[in-house]
């Protein structure tokens, strides 16, 4: 499935950016943004990664259901079926890493809450 350009447009709009302002934020020309969003120029993997990082969303966010990557993304002028599979595997791994990090963060937050409770108990005892 192709990149859902509407999702990029919506993110730009939600931030209240003009295309010119957004272009400056990610260090490309306004015309480049316009060409991407009109489908005149295909997004490179690097460009899509930059946009995803800027908006703090996974790259898979920009694909319709299933997160499939098709010829709508071009890396150095072309993308082979092997590259598509490799990219999908990389995306899946990154999403798994994110889930693991979320789990670790939740565990740390619980541990911090427990430590705060212990500190409060000790403060009471020391009064």
Give the model confidence (pLDDT) of 39-56 as tens digits. 888 888 888 889 988 998
- Check: CB of residue 44 under 8 Å from CB of residue 15: no
Does a structural domain hold residue 122?
Answer: no
Phi, psi of 4 (to 5 degrees): -85, 95
Place of tokens 């990557």: 69
Does the pTM of the predicted model rise above 0.85?
Answer: no
Does a structural domain hold residue 70?
Answer: yes
pLDDT at residue 66 in the model = 45
When pLDDT is cut at 50, 70 and 90, the band that residue 71 belongs to is very low
CATH number for position 73? 1.10.260.40
Does a structural domain hold residue 116?
Answer: no
What would the pLDDT profile of 73-127 be if each residue is shown by its tens digit? 444 444 444 455 566 667 777 777 788 888 888 888 889 989 999 999 998 999 8
Does a structural domain hold residue 52?
Answer: yes
Does a structural domain hold residue 67?
Answer: yes
Q: What's 75's DSSP letter? A: B
Does a structural domain hold residue 49?
Answer: yes
Domain that holds residue 55: 5-98
Q: How many domains does the chain have?
A: 1
Phi, psi of 40 (to 5 degrees): -75, -30
């Amino acid at each position: 499935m192709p990149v859902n350009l509407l999702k990029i447009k919506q993110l730009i709009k939600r931030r209240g950016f003009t295309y010119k302002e957004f272009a400056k934020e990610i260090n490309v020309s306004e015309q480049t943004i316009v060409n991407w969003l009109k489908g005149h120029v295909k997004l490179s993997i690097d460009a899509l990664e930059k946009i995803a990082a800027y908006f703090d969303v996974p790259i898979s966010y920009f694909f319709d259901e299933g997160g499939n990557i098709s010829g709508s993304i071009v890396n150095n002028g072309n993308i082979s079926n092997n590259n598509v599979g490799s990219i999908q595997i990389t995306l899946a791994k990154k999403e798994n890493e994110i889930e693991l990090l979320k789990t670790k963060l939740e565990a740390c937050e619980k541990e911090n809450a427990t430590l705060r409770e212990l500190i409060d108990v000790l403060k009471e005892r020391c009064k």
